[in-house]
Chains A and B, each alone.
Chain A
Amino acid sequence: MTTVPTEDLQTVTLTVNGSERTVAVPPHRTLLDGLRDEVGLPGTKSCCAEGECGACTVLLDGKAVNSCLVLCVEAEGHEVTTVEGLSDGGLTDLQEEFLNAGAVQCGFCIPGQVVSAEYLLRTNPSPSEPEIREALSGNLCRCAGYQRIVRAVQATAARRNGQ
């Protein structure tokens, strides 16, 4: 069922959401493709495929990256966290605050937004509003107008800081 001869498939072993996974992918396939099509985690969304919209954001060794700009083979031996890996089935405090703030409309961009915001809060637990805007400026949203996402991040920071 594949057009690529078997010898051209690259075997990639990576850790996804804490579990070691081995996938066989053509060398030109992106981490985004690998996560969605091979690992079976469609929470990471595909939109622009050129690193401009942020819908495909994941954590690679703890850093937020556009998974459409990383080849799957480059992830060999690395650790990836997708939106599915942020929580144990329920919602994280950040995701709850996205809902409370009214930041979630169609929801297609939200997994990427959540991952980017989580990375921000892990690296800067008390971000200012300009810092939030800067950190999330690579994540496009066409529905909600951004303001409520900023509020959600602020509310989460306050919650985590015990305020």
Chain B
Amino acid sequence: MTTAPERAIEQRDELGLPADPFGSGQVGKPVLRYGGGDRASGAQRFVADLVFPGALQVALVTVPVGCADLLGIDTTAARAIPGVVDVVTPADLPSPMPRFGVSHVDRPVLADGRVNYHGEPVAAVLAETADAAQAGARAVVVDYRELPGVYSLDAALADGAHLVQDPSIRPGHALAETNVLEEAHYTWGDVEAEQQRADVVVENTYTFPMVTHFPIEPGGTVAVPTDQGGLDIYSPVQHPYLLQRTIASVIGLPLNQVRVFAPDPGGGFGGKQNPKLEPLLAFLALRTRRTCRIVLSLEETFQSMRRAGCRISARTGFTKDGELTFHLVQADFQIGAYADVAPRVMGKGSYVAAGPYRIPGVRIDARAVVTNTTPSTAFRGFGSPQVAWATESQLDAGARELGLDGLEIRRRNLVAKGEPFVRGESAAAADGEWIQSLEKAAELIGWDTPLPPGRGRGIAVGIKPGATSGLSQSLVRLLCDGSAIVYAGTSDMGQGARTLWQQIVADELGAELDHVSVVSGDTGTVPFDLQTSASRSTVFMGSAVLEACQDVRRRVLELYAESTGMDPSELDERPGVLVTPDGEISLPEAARTALGSLRGEFIGQGTRRLRGKSKHPLGGDAAFYEFNATAIEVEVDRETGELLLTRHVTVSDVGTELNPLQVVSQDEGAAIMGLGHSQMEQLLLDEHGRIRNLGALDYRIPTFKDVPVELVSAAVENHDGPGPYGSKGISEGALLCTAGALGAAVTDATGVVIRDLPLTPERVWTALQHQH
């Protein structure tokens, strides 16, 4: 019988994966997912699956509008419902209302006198059962006065617009009297002269919809008061250490009194990065001295997180040879009622709004605009997909004017490795031979082969800055029998981080793959990790795990020398082995010898720290860039406007594939997610600011029947990344430029140009009707 890893290796050829670059090691092999068996069998326990006997169930009270003053809350009827234990209103929380937030401390634990978005909790009902809590929530009578909320960019930016945030929240801030929370400006070159130099100029406005993450696991939180006056918090949060800090800060507890248990999220995609309802649950648990639990409906999950919609106006110039001369961008991100991390999304996304191109004159002006809508947060791509939609479409617009195709215009402008694509004070240079990905995507789609009528092709590229600072710490314990335990605080929400730690430790310490286990998701036992986002885990935590292994090897060497009476200088260590004058012995064997009859273990520690730069607009240089080229072939049904994707190719520059199976699966998932916002997804609001398509029935994401007939995912490997073995971050790449490639393909097939996403059948059909 073959082992799981052996079966995986046998699959290499079958899956069309490249040859193993590391010989007999586990790194580089398509090792099967750590914990995958439990996920497939239903044994995996997500937050909602954890059982807390006697826990109070929590239900949220909301009002059915997006903006209102709260006049009073009558809890009498709710309290009379059997099973209801408590109804907590803002008056029951500390005054002033505690607030929290990542980039601004602006989000109240409960609505603070005013409701700022549809779904903002104004009270919480605690009951012995979920039914009673729901009945209680329905029975709470909220007296409110609806206000003329601002639900769109235009409304928020209009003269005299209702101010979403009280100016006192931003004392002394120049924009406090406006609905602009933050701005970003990037400029380089002589923009005026470059405008004069252009032979062809295209100017257009693009829109990118508000979309929701739609993880299949809705949100949930459990707060358990401890005997010592602290709290245990269970949450599928991507950043458990940030949550720990937030709870400690909001409640006023030392960090050691707040322990966050973070079971693997059932999908995160950025939506579960930052605290949402956890501070409220913490207050409820401390107030009642009982365990308090909430599991959100999918509708409530929609109301707790989304991606910022964006409107981008761009003016772009080219020489007659197709070289870009200038690119002017105004990007307005509709970020919602509270900041969360959205100002950074705006700043980081717009930083790459000129794309990975050689452009002598650039001016980018971006704004994070607050509106009375669900707060937006990180979402796979972190602002890059929005701006890439506009910039890639502008390149195609220029190409059409010049008689070039989408591939050629990009060939002529894409920067080479080491060449700057952002200039000025915060200059950034290409960290990969990105043309390789472009050429490979073109080749895999069959760019030059003729197409039948009604079909078209598009190609686009996307770029996203990785983490600009960070800290990951790891512990690795090599036990006396040669097995090992890794402690790494990365959240494994499907990307497979633990599989990589297992592979690295197996190779570095010479352990059997299935003799390496990983502990994560508990701030009480696992060392600090800043976050699981920005595709940073492989580079940051991966390096920390690698360093911890090297630390273990050094300790084995030292103790081996001591226990055998050898001089340490006679010994050396390498991955998996100890080198002695008599030859190599396996590290586990050396460890056993060194430990002797007392046994015990070796503990290694690893740290990867990247300090930021205070003067850099992003807080530091990106550790790496995610780069992707996507090519799509589409058939357009002119009668219905429906798009049939016949072929979809995505190629990412990954440095080194530590686990090819995970790389390819991540990119496929990202590609289909990208098709979601490109083809069908959008949150729609009514005149009261309510989400009209609230729930799975009306908000559509791709299904098995919506995905391309053929989906090809490939990688470029030059082993030039900053992570272990030359790896870079992956997983966001394949959705960075999906929209641009699809839009160009539709134009190629039909001649119509659509600048508003998503490209729904209605929108395509309407455009076709207006074509002539």
Contact = CB atoms under 8 A, between A and B. Distances in A.
A132 B707 CA distance: 13
A47 B49 CA distance: 12
A64 interface: no
Interface string A89-113: 0010001101110111111111100
A95 B703 CA distance: 20
A134 B49 CA distance: 30
B217 A106 contact: yes
Interface stretch (B589-597, B599-607, B665-673): B665-673
A110 B711 CA distance: 21
Contact of B82 (A3, A104, A138, A148): A3
A104 to B, nearest CB: 5
B267 A106 contact: yes
Interface residues of A, number: 58
A91 B37 contact: yes
* Chain A interface, DSSP helix/strand/loop, else mixed: loop
Nearest to A141: B216
B135 interface: yes
Interface stretch (B97-105, B409-417, B492-500): B492-500
Nearest to B4: A99
A141 B7 CA distance: 25
A114 B40 contact: yes
A52 B696 contact: yes
Contacts of B217: 45, 47, 106, 108
Contacts of B705: 133-134, 137
Given A99-B32, A108-B46, A140 B37 contact: no
Contacts of A140: 214, 216, 696, 701, 703
B742 to A, nearest CB: 15
Given A42-B49, A47-B696, A99-B33, A144 B266 contact: no
A23 B672 CA distance: 41
Contact of B662 (A102, A108, A132, A149): A102
* Chain B interface, DSSP helix/strand/loop, else mixed: loop
A106 B265 contact: yes
A161 B174 CA distance: 71
Interface string A48-64: 11101101000000000
A105 B665 contact: yes
B609 to A, nearest CB: 29
B521 interface: no
B39 interface: yes
B524 interface: no
Contact of A144 (B42, B129, B213, B665): B665
Contact of A98 (B40, B83, B671): B40
Given A47-B696, A137-B703, A108 B41 contact: no
Nearest to A132: B704
Interface in B175-230: 213-218
Contacts of B288: none
A34 to B, nearest CB: 13
A20 to B, nearest CB: 21
Contacts of A96: 40
Nearest to A49: B297
Given A134-B705, A136-B704, A147-B668, A3 B33 contact: no
B19 interface: no
A44 interface: yes
A30 interface: no
B48 A46 contact: yes
Contact of B266 (A99, A108, A134, A138): A108
A37 B697 CA distance: 25
Contact of A102 (B83, B661, B673, B701): B661
Contact of A43 (B42, B214, B702): B42
Interface string A129-163: 00011101111111111111110000000000000
Contacts of A98: 36, 40
Contact of A82 (B42, B83, B266): B42
Contacts of B84: 3
A142 B665 contact: no
Contact of A47 (B132, B298, B707): B298
Given A91-B40, A141-B216, A102 B267 contact: no
A97 to B, nearest CB: 9
Contacts of A41: 42
Given A102-B664, A108-B266, A48 B671 contact: no
A108 B267 contact: yes
A43 B665 CA distance: 23
Contacts of A136: 704
A99 B496 CA distance: 12
Contact of B696 (A48, A87, A132, A133): A48
A19 interface: no
B692 interface: no
Given A3-B129, A107-B40, A133 B82 contact: no
B46 A95 contact: no
Nearest to B670: A145
A82 B49 CA distance: 15
B748 interface: no
A131 B81 CA distance: 50
B54 interface: yes
A108 B215 contact: yes
Contacts of A104: 33, 36, 39-40
Contact of A106 (B7, B42, B43, B264): B264
Given A3-B81, A47-B216, A105 B41 contact: no
A141 to B, nearest CB: 7
Contacts of A102: 15, 30, 33, 661-662, 664-665
B40 A137 contact: no
Contacts of A48: 298, 695-697
B132 to A, nearest CB: 4
A147 B707 contact: yes
Contact of B496 (A46, A105, A138, A147): A105
Contacts of A91: 37, 40-41
A1 B37 CA distance: 36
Interface of A: 1-4, 26, 36, 41-50, 52-53, 55, 82-84, 87, 91, 95-96, 98-100, 102-111, 114, 132-134, 136-150
Given A111-B40, A142-B267, 18 more contacts: A1-B128, A3-B128, A3-B129, A44-B42, A48-B696, A82-B42, A91-B40, A98-B40, A99-B4, A107-B38, A107-B494, A133-B707, A140-B703, A142-B214, A143-B494, A145-B668, A145-B707, A146-B704
- 7 interchain residue pairs of minimum CB distance: A43-B42, A107-B39, A108-B266, A3-B83, A106-B494, A105-B494, A3-B132
23 contacts: A3-B132, A3-B135, A41-B42, A46-B48, A46-B295, A82-B42, A84-B41, A91-B40, A98-B40, A99-B4, A100-B32, A105-B665, A106-B217, A106-B266, A107-B38, A132-B704, A134-B704, A141-B216, A142-B214, A142-B269, A145-B671, A145-B672, A147-B668
Interface of B: 4, 7-8, 11, 15, 30, 32-33, 35-46, 48-49, 54, 81-84, 127-129, 131-132, 135, 213-218, 264-269, 295, 297-298, 493-496, 661-662, 664-666, 668-673, 695-697, 701-705, 707, 711
